[in-house]
Amino acid sequence: METAICGRLPLSPNHVFNPKPGDRHPLCKGPCINLGIPMAVSATGPGKGGGLLERPVIEKTTPARDSEFDLRKSRKTAPPYRVILHNDNYNKREYVVQVLMKVIPGMSLDNAVNIMQEAHHNGLSIVIICAQADAEEHCMQLRHNGLLSSIEPASGGGC
């Protein structure tokens, strides 16, 4: 809310009130007498706002130790997820084995064949158990190559 002083510019909460001799204003009783002492007018009331803020103190830590600790801790506490391959009637067995070896890092031919056979006979097979972000990536890549896959939380295990 802005207020004008005797037809002058409006006041802001940070305005310095420095009247000229003889000015009339509701803050003064009678004519204002300029004693050369500036007076601050605050719209927020006494004790609220208007002060200078102190510079915050930023404590410096050793980033290598803290960040390495936090990284190890977050990896240990992240729940593992299963990547599941579902059987389909469209893809040939050889193609499924090739995609598994291409998409899953370190997947051997024997493991890929066993996973494909289990999915073919049982309807699904666990491909890998790993962190959620990795599981989502593997699942997306399997789907991108035309295989049916999903992820679910695992009770245990690791990549």
pTM of the model: 0.51
In CATH, what number does 81-153 get? 3.30.1390.10
Give me the residue spans of the domains in the chain: 81-153
φ, ψ of residue 96 in degrees (nearest 5): -60, -45
**How far is the C-alpha of 21 from the C-alpha of 34, rounded, in Å?**
5
**How far is the C-alpha of 118 from the C-alpha of 99, rounded, in Å?**
16
**How far is the C-alpha of 18 from the C-alpha of 38, rounded, in Å?**
5
What would the pLDDT profile of 61-111 be if each residue is shown by its tens digit?
555 555 555 555 555 667 899 999 999 989 999 999 999 999 999 999 999
Instruction: Tell me what pLDDT residue 42 has.
Output: 45
